[in-house]
Chain A
């Protein structure tokens, strides 16, 4: 067996990035479960906020898998893998989720569970 002469994606940058997206998605799902628990302590309907966070994070996980395949094409064509859309969505969603989680805990404290 011969080794390939040209290495595509040296040091597996693309794979490491995809794995980072997946780790982030798993983290988001874990926070979503905890938010579901905290929300249910205030009002059963508020548990839906946590469920939304779990579903969104699961969406990121699915997207990360697809994007990994797409990036092969982009990188082989020598194009930039910049993806402002994904960073914007995840950045804003995480900011909203942590803000909602803060409000939920404040609500739990003041409703005196």
Chain B
């Protein structure tokens, strides 16, 4: 059983020491089991559920995008909104496995969980799409 995880406060900027400690940037991180020791199984399962939540978020965005593109016949921005939601969905899906592997590795090495820009990208992206759609609705009514 590993020691209790320390979850750091979301720092506005990544500490320099951490950036230097990072070996080299990899698109697909290696199998987490190659490093460290097994953490408490509850943390492993919680990390897995977080990964699945991100996947479901990506799937929901994809469903919204496909729906917007094919169902919104009266709304001229429907296709644009659909493509925007699908691109956001693609980014979320592509980042989610990476997040899972990096978090798992950090827990195995008893290090703080790595910072992620994924939440910021998703929130910003959805905000831009919503404002864009609102402007299109306003123009068309």
Q: Give me the interface of A with B, judged by CB distance under 8 Å.
A: 11, 13-14, 16-17, 20-21, 23-24, 27-28, 30-31, 34-35, 37-38, 41, 75, 79-84, 87-88, 90-92, 94-95, 97-99, 101-102, 104-106, 108-109
Contacts and interface: CB of A to CB of B under 8 A. Distances in A.
Interface in B24-57: 31-33, 38-39, 41-42, 44-46, 48-49, 51-53, 55-56
Among B41, B62, B69, B101, max chain A CB count under 10 A is at B62
Contact of A94 (B65, B69, B93): B93
Contacts, number: 133
Interface residues of B, number: 43
B56 A82 contact: no
A30 B90 contact: no
Chain B binding surface SS class: helix
B29 to A, nearest CB: 10
A38 B33 CA distance: 40
Nearest to B97: A91
A63 B41 CA distance: 20
Contacts of B96: 91, 94
Contacts of A17: 45, 48-49, 52
Nearest to A34: B66
Chain A binding surface SS class: helix
B59 A31 contact: yes
A87 B97 contact: yes
B70 A41 contact: yes
A45 B45 CA distance: 39
Nearest to B59: A27
Nearest to B69: A105
B58 A108 contact: no
A76 to B, nearest CB: 11
Given A38-B66, A95-B94, A101-B89, A109 B45 contact: no
A46 to B, nearest CB: 13
14 contacts: A13-B46, A24-B52, A24-B59, A30-B63, A38-B69, A41-B70, A81-B48, A95-B93, A98-B92, A102-B90, A105-B66, A105-B70, A105-B83, A109-B83
